[in-house]
A and B are shown apart, each in its own frame.
Chain A
Amino acid sequence: MRIKDVKYLRFKTYLNAYCPHCNQSFNVDTINEKTLDFKAVYKKKKIDLRLSPYLDVFELEASVPVEKGDILDDLLCPYCSKSIVKKDFSCKECGTKAAEVIISADEKLIPFYLCLKYGCEWHGLSKADEKKIKLKIPRQDMPEQDQTLRIHNHQEVPYGYTSELALLEAGRCIQCKNPKCIDGCPVNIDIPGFISLVVEEKFDEAVKKIKERNILPAICGRVCPQENQCEEACVLGIKEKPVAIGRLERFVADFERKMELVKVPIINKNTGKKIAVVGSGPAGLTVAADMRQLGYSVTIFEALHETGGVLTYGIPEFRLPKSIVQFEINYLKEMGCRIELNHIIGATITVDELLENFNAVFIGVGAGLPTFMNIEGENLGNVFSSNEYLTRMNLMKAYKFPEYDTPMPKGENVTVIGGGNVAMDSARTAIRTGSDKVTIVYRRSRNELPAREEEVHHAEEEGIKFRLLTNPVRYLGTDDNRVKGMECIKMELGEPDNSGRRRPIPIEGSNFILDCDLVVIAVGTGPNPTIFQSTPDIKRNKWGYIEVNPDTNETSKEFVYAGGDIVTGSATVIQAMGAGRIASNAMHEKLSKIKK
């Protein structure tokens, strides 16, 4: 190709190019240096522009000096070294037929062309080509802490997207006419809507779009099981990997917080009515925010000395930094919600007493009561429920002993029973406290592990062993009654029963002993009965969970609403928030009809 009228071929370094052959995206602005990833072939010599002396860092442009009439042979992808020049295009700028252009993409992922004839740059592609290109962009991973280093600290594992990565990922969304992802989201966030705002770099508007339906995006972006919700439904998932909706949600929420763009909303005119919220987990927080916004005066009663429920004392710091949870709580305080800590409703004040002072009560007390499997040896020393183990570690910051005065339950050889998020969290916490060996014992196979895939993957990376299709049948103790091992039995999965579930069945005679010096049981939890002892007229089911009208989440006791784990049993953060939203809508509707 002959260069006619240009003196310099210029490449902007903020370019995020993409190779149509090997699908690699070349991220230009990396490792603090302004690097440009193209390779050019000029006078038959390959120039690697990544190291090019021609790169002018201040101008953010790399220029290869060329003479009029010189020949630039080709432009190559730095990874696969194939040509990224497309020969069958005509330049939109100069109109030259058969102009030679490179297909690439700028930082917004709108395909980018560079005309090699006159050096014209232009954007845009036919819809079909655009879709083809988008489908080829690989799902972007989040950069994360190295696995060998992170097991020695409690800091968050993924760092989150940079804006470049977020733009690349958002560019993958093909903006379906009939977006399945919205149906997959338990609170029906307008997902393509917020993603298209990301593409336009309107990150603050994108987070507002999410907050229309979900008040805690920084938290949900981190802990929601997107792989079973919105991302499972995303159409890209049929052939390729789905759009990383959760990572984008997290990115925009973090952006808003870090840029200090969070503003307290305008609160509606005071209704003169008062709401009591019992429990400060995600369900309670949602009700508090909604009702306060609508002009009610809101008081949250929390049994513990810190707010946030499971977000604070259950999910560990390395998965959900507590500073984020506290930021959201401060936001509620700034909105004018009152928070009363160390108030156990049912013990210090009863629900009936609350009703004397408040127009309505919301119960979001979760399902934090540990249940045991009821097998031999569960009362030995160093056998913990996951609830106690994680609470000690998180809330009482036992991992900072002696700085904090709760001693840390520590074992060299730890076994965790269960296969859910709680089990993964317990195991990953144990490995961070310096245990030599951490094993997860789970009675079904890997396919049935109910934990989030990301958590299982991280646990494996961190060296946690999995004993699948195995169940403990009793614990063995030392003379001074500390656990020293457990007898396990191997399991096989039976035929699917009426519910379609394959039950684990013990294999006769397959018993064996597994040594361990600390056990965490992450199986089963139940409702704490305290609040009900003084209020027997709140109807509950046989498991002790509250029965509600599903349209309003009102309980059998008028003006008392409930939602979250105390209604459903252990579920998810987003389900608890969704339940809170149903209750706040219904409360508002009912209370609006009543004069003071």
Chain B
Amino acid sequence: MKEFKSINDVLDFAIKGEQEAVDFYNQLAENSKTEDMRHVFTSFAQEEMEHKTRLTKIKAEGLYQFEKKEIVDLKIGDYTVSVKPSPEMSYQDALILAMKKEKAAFRLYYELAKRANNDEMKDVFLSLAQEESKHKLRFEIEYDEYVLREN
């Protein structure tokens, strides 16, 4: 397992994670069959890019103050069946994929927090986890509002 020596190490790791997500969504956008879905994935990639920029800024400024706030978990990502990335994905599939991805990232940071060497580092991991649940919530709300809409 990766050793984290400093907070900067942690942030580098997180920044790399966000970049991987950017690349992942850009790849999906490229493969998409339709213009609309290309758009969707490009916008997901953009959102990840914003997360990365935020982390880069935090690292540059050395400000590790993250607010701790309980994030609502609608658990939609927990109960939906996984979808495989494919050029024919619908927006619903894209949301499921994104929710699951954010959830996985949350779990990773949460695990890392449990194993952190010191409290400061633990806090950073926890806040990164919290950030990921915020991202997940955004997708879950979209899913709740449109896919689960009663008619």
Chain A residues within 8 Å of B, Cβ to Cβ: 371, 373-376, 418-423, 442-443, 450-451, 473-474, 494, 497, 499, 501, 503-506, 522-526, 536, 540-544, 569-570
Q: A473-B79, A524-B148, A570-B149 are in contact. Are A504 and B74 (CB under 8 A)?
A: yes
Q: B73 at the A/B interface (Cβ < 8 Å)?
A: yes
Cβ < 8 Å to A, chain B residues 32-55 = 34-37, 39-40
Q: B118 at the A/B interface (Cβ < 8 Å)?
A: no
Q: A371-B147, A524-B148 are in contact. Are A542 and B141 (CB under 8 A)?
A: no
Q: B96 at the A/B interface (Cβ < 8 Å)?
A: yes
Q: Are A373 and B36 in contact (CB under 8 A)?
A: no
CB-CB under 8 A from A536, the residues of chain B are: 34-35
6 pairs of A and B residues whose beta carbons are closest in the complex:
A420-B150, A570-B151, A418-B150, A374-B80, A473-B79, A420-B151
**A373 CB, nearest partner CB in chain B, Å:** 7
Q: B81 at the A/B interface (Cβ < 8 Å)?
A: yes
CB-CB under 8 A from B145, the residues of chain A are: 499, 501
Specify which of A374, A421, A501 is in contact with B92 (CB 8 Å cutoff). Answer: A374
Q: Are A442 and B80 in contact (CB under 8 A)?
A: no
Q: A374-B92, A524-B148, A570-B149 are in contact. Are A505 and B80 (CB under 8 A)?
A: no
- Complex CA–CA separation, A375 to B143 (angstroms): 13
9 other A-B residue contacts (CB within 8 Å) besides A373-B148, A451-B150 = A371-B92, A374-B80, A375-B79, A418-B151, A421-B151, A422-B151, A522-B150, A524-B146, A542-B36
CB-CB under 8 A from B92, the residues of chain A are: 371, 374, 526
What is the size, in residues, of chain B's interface with A at 8 Å between Cβ atoms? 27
Q: Are B74 and A506 in contact (CB under 8 A)?
A: yes
**A531 CB, nearest partner CB in chain B, Å:** 14
**B82 CB, nearest partner CB in chain A, Å:** 9
Residue of A nearest to B75 (CB): A506
Q: A374-B92, A506-B74, A536-B35 are in contact. Are A497 and B141 (CB under 8 A)?
A: yes
Q: Are B36 and A503 in contact (CB under 8 A)?
A: no
CB-CB under 8 A from A420, the residues of chain B are: 150-151
CB-CB under 8 A from B90, the residues of chain A are: 526, 544
- Complex CA–CA separation, A524 to B147 (angstroms): 5
CB-CB under 8 A from A442, the residues of chain B are: 150
Q: A373-B80, A505-B72, A542-B37 are in contact. Are A524 and B151 (CB under 8 A)?
A: yes
Q: B13 at the A/B interface (Cβ < 8 Å)?
A: no
Q: Are A523 and B149 in contact (CB under 8 A)?
A: yes
**A224 CB, nearest partner CB in chain B, Å:** 15
Q: Are B74 and A503 in contact (CB under 8 A)?
A: yes
Q: B111 at the A/B interface (Cβ < 8 Å)?
A: no
Cβ < 8 Å to A, chain B residues 3-21 = none
- Complex CA–CA separation, A336 to B73 (angstroms): 57
**A384 CB, nearest partner CB in chain B, Å:** 15
Q: Are B91 and A474 in contact (CB under 8 A)?
A: no
Q: B144 at the A/B interface (Cβ < 8 Å)?
A: yes
Q: List 20 A-B contacts (CB under 8 A).
A: A371-B92, A371-B147, A373-B147, A374-B81, A374-B83, A374-B96, A419-B150, A420-B150, A423-B150, A499-B141, A503-B141, A504-B144, A506-B74, A506-B75, A523-B149, A524-B149, A524-B151, A543-B146, A569-B149, A570-B149
